[in-house]
Amino acid sequence: MRNGIDPFLEMATELGKCKDSTVLFSRYGHWHDSGTAPRKAGTMNKAIAVYVLLAGMTMSCQSPKLINEDNNWTYLGQSKASHIREKDVIKIKSRDKFSELRIYVFDKNVEIKDFEVMLINGDVLKPVIDKKILASDKSRVIELSTEGKQLEHLLIRYRSEGPVFTGKAHVQYGGRRAVD
């Protein structure tokens, strides 16, 4: 480089091929617009592959929507159950009072071992619940009280059924707001 000028750019300018440095001589030996410099082979294919991969991951991560039976039901949270027994705690952010709960299951059957409802005042309810909920189904309505209770969190011990490494069950929790 002489005086900090690229010899290829200097040669292109001297040959009259470049006005205001808009055409550059690439390392691949071709003349190109500076805005359309060549890419390495496969760059576009890699970009498309990454896009398809990210789109697929995004779609697979989307959770199923809660089945809204009427306007009084509220989405409370969700969890995923694997084939291994596990315990999940679903914190309830809403400070509304709820009179009923329901569990929705998607993708795989779920076997429930234990279910507890912790109220905001510290009381713990252990409602009787279905031991098994089939995929794409919901539990029976779990009645809390007619005047409604404020919930702190739900604790569930469960596992999904089926072969190992075949995916997880998506479990969602809904509550019916108490009518004043």
| Same domain, residue pair 93 and 57 | no
Indicate whether 19 belongs to any domain.
yes
In the DSSP assignment, the letter for residue 77 is E
Q: Is 103 helix (H, G, I), strand (E, B) or coil?
A: strand
Q: Which of 60, 59, 104 is nearest to 78 (CA)?
A: 104
Averages of pLDDT over runs of 10 residues in the chain (180 residues) are: 56 50 48 52 66 56 51 87 90 93 93 95 93 93 93 95 84 90
Say what the alpha-carbon torsion angle 141, 146, 150, 156 is, to the nearest 10 degrees: -20
Q: Which residues have CB under 8 Å from 153's CB, separation 6+?
A: 89, 90, 91, 92, 118
pLDDT attached to residue 160? 92
Q: Say what the pTM is.
A: 0.62
User: Would you say residue 68 lies in a domain?
Assistant: no
- Backbone φ/ψ region at 148: left (φ over 0), alpha (ψ -120 to 50), beta: left
Is 143 inside a domain boundary? yes
Cα(109)–Cα(111) distance, integer angstroms: 7
Same domain, 114 and 166: yes
CB atoms within 10 A of CB 154: 22
Range of the domain at 146: 73-177
Amino acid at 103: I
152 domain-assigned: yes
Domain membership of residue 66 (yes or no) is no
Total domains present in the chain: 2
Contacts of 74 (CB under 8 A, 6+ apart): 94, 96, 98, 174, 175, 176, 177
3-state secondary structure of 137: strand
89: in domain = yes
Please tell me the predicted confidence (pLDDT) of residue 117.
97
Judgement on whether residues 91 and 152 belong to the same structural domain of the protein: yes
pLDDT for 152 equals: 97
Positive or negative torsion for Cα 73, 117, 161, 53: positive
